[in-house]
Structure 1
């Protein structure tokens, strides 16, 4: 039985990976959080790997606060770049294949076409730059890797756009949501399932994009969330074409997923259908 290490087990993707792992019994999956596998601590990482061997490592840990990264530059780089470099070096030494989760924010958002894996990167914020540097370190140090870029992740777990809208909608807060950015909301449960399918099929190493199908603005996303929340019909939703954020965001960062769909023989579900399915489950919970 092949052994799989998952970092960032307490994050939303880590928790979705834990759920998805129940359907892939051919793997022994070990979930770790930063108390055991801290990307900001090379010593802690090396110590853990010195006592354990894995066939695969799914790196779901990251510094993800886009605005805070603008001032917390060192920590963002320590985790997303230097920590990933150390992880790649350890995986090389241990013969471990690395599956690393990256982001649409490695692009500048100026393309009118959906981004393919070979498009030029040009991050416009510190978070995106730190994630890109992590990608570059992996490509430099480790041949046996998959870099999996995704976008606008949400799930039933943790702090994300879906749960923020549900929370403030329930409180009756006026929701002013931007129309300035276009991307694809991606259900982290779909991403987790694809990651395990990648372990099963082991396609050619390299960079892949996965997101749900379609594109929308954050306002469109919020509107769809409320449309699938019967209890929030009275929520106040308003458009704004100027929502100030500390960090710049790509104006359009839609990812083309044809490469991974062909490699894994899967079809990415549309973002509206995937959202509806998740919210149906949330709405029927006691």
Structure 2
């Protein structure tokens, strides 16, 4: 299980607001409502949660969900330490006790019988039963539950149960508008605006494609990765092949098509800063 714990008030993670998502998130948090973030891969959901945790001055515990994730992974279990059996809290229990925000990334990848453990936390009870200990832990002030998933990617067999969905406020994400996405790429990678604009146009063209050979469309994340390679001296077209084509497909025909698009949309060399 991949768990990341962020604490303290370091600089605010860069996030460019697109619509009313920040106001809705903060209002839901203040009201003790759980939040579901819905949107395509790489559109900024995780960065958004990091920025909100910073603004709200709360520790953030992030769990990358997968199909082997169990309720015990989230809640906790008994472990042998030094010849003695000792209870160890899982990340969800730590967040409940400490008043942190617990973010379950790609929650539908976890088994449905695992996500049921969220129900008493996601409704008016705001509590976590720990059956192995025979106790129920009330959420400390400041606790927040946030989940994310990509409804356009996961199959019908991988979806949130209706009983889970209706306990949450939903915020929907899409890829940013071209001017916002360009500003994000400039801020994240430090490339010239003209270079970011070329990457945005390439990304938009790939998103319009209709082919079964693409694992995903070009996310803001992969465009930023290409830009960061360019900043380090890699030629734009080579950077885009490595950061965009390779991650998106293993199909040779689709790869050739994407390379052709790169040659149309990207310059051979990165333009200077004052371009």
TM-score by length of 2: 0.33
TM-score computed with the length of structure 1 as normaliser: 0.32
